Each structure stands twice: as structure tokens, then as C-alpha cells.
Amino acid sequence: MLPFGISSDARFDSLERSLRLLAVQVGRLAAAPPESVSVPLPSVTGSVATTSSSARRHVPGGPPPVLPHSHRRVAPSNFEKMEHDISLRNFSTWRLQWQAYCRLEQLADHPVPTQSAASKTALSSQMLRTVEMTLGSYDEATTTPDAILDSIYAHLRAKRSIAIDRVEFEECRLTVGESFDEFYMRLRQIAAGANLCPSCHDSRFVTRIISGISDPETRRKLLAINPPDLLIYHTVNVCHSE
């Protein structure tokens, strides 16, 4: 039963106008950024209601609401903490794992103070004291996690002479029971700490592989190749084929 004074044609005309307005607003909503869009939506009676994506509430039984990155809680509590006695080599591995964690958690989308606080929670209490000692007085609002990790690296590097890593590189050899891949990866880790000169890095690496392998036949094959043509990947391929 229709209200007094309103014909069915007028009622349907009003409903059609409301649906058209709704279609226009939905199109605008699809083209706008999702974080804070305020869209007036017409009701079926022609009145206008306002809703905002930032005010969406969780529907029981439905998916949890998606929060902007700046509102997400960063808690690397299950990330392996860096201990104060970590070696320089293990520090490099730890840093690679931390960088992967930061990409997964999109830590760069958070403010710098939040990033720094998250990196500190991944350090043991003794390592945190080391950071405070090496950095001294610093501005937490501008000190990035990379700056903190760089200070730790400088501290670890200063505790270990680079000559030790270079000697270890020159003496590295394939051990009994060790596969070539294991030897090659160990050699790469040592070379990273030895800070070899860029201009002679590849030639020294090839020489070290030839000297370090134990199979004389493979060594003869590698020595028969003209040195300028013997690149690292060529050397590795020959060792894999034997």
C-alpha cells in the first residue's frame, strides 16, 4: 500500500534516480584510493547515507579487516635474535635473513622510529648495549635499521683483522667428505670477508678453486684452458661435470 498522495510511477521514478546515483558513486569508489574514501550512498528512500572504508567493522564469520601498513603491528619476536658474539660471517647471513623479513613485513612502509624499534627487538640485550656503545648519542627518529646494522658490522670488522680472512682464503681447500658445492659456498663466504680487490677478484677466485680441488684430472683440464677465457662460471661448470 503506497503512502497517500504518492503514485506508483513517482515512487519508481524516485527509486530509479537513487539507483543511478548509486551506480555513479560506486564507479567513483572503484577509481579512488582505498584507504580513506568517504562515499555518500543513496538509500532506497532517496535519503543519503555516508560510509567510509576506514570505518569498516569486522563482520562475524567474515575475513578480518585489512589495516593500512602504518597501523599494522610489527613484532619480530619469532625472528632469531642476533647475539653479541656473532661472527662476521654469520652476521652477513643474519642480515640477509633480516632483509628478507623486512620485505615480507613491508617494514619500509612504517615510520623510521617504528623500523628502528623493530630492528632493536631482533637484537639480544648484550648486542643492544653494543649498539648503544658504538652509535653513542643518536636520533631515534632518523636512525634507520641499516645505520644500526652498519654500526654493528663496523664493530665486528674492527675486532677481526682482515688479514686473517685473506690468509684463510688463500689456504681454503676442499676437505675430505666435502662436496664441491659445499667447498664453493664456503670459499665465497670467506672471500666476502676478505674484501678482495674488484679488479682481480675473479682471477684470484678461479686460481683458488683450481688450487683447492683434490681431483688431479679436473685440475689438469682447468689448467689447459687459457686464463683469460677461464671465468668463474666456466670453472664451476667443469668441476660439476667431473
pTM summary value? 0.58
Q: Hey, what domains does the chain have and what are their CATH numbers?
A: 7-49 (no CATH), 80-159 (no CATH), 162-241 (1.10.1200.30)
Joined grid coordinates for residue 205: 677466485
Joined grid coordinates for residue 196: 678482495
Among 135, 132, 96, 98, smallest CA distance to 118 is for 98
Among 101, 105, 95, 100, smallest CA distance to 146 is for 95
Measured at the CA of 173, the angle between CA 199 and CA 210, to 5 degrees, comes to 55
Q: Return per-residue pLDDT of the chain as tens, 242 residues.
A: 445 455 555 555 666 666 676 666 666 655 555 554 454 444 444 444 444 444 455 555 565 554 455 556 666 667 889 998 999 889 988 999 999 989 988 988 999 998 888 888 899 999 988 888 877 767 778 889 999 999 899 999 898 899 999 999 999 999 999 999 999 999 998 998 888 888 888 889 999 999 999 999 999 999 998 876 778 888 999 998 87
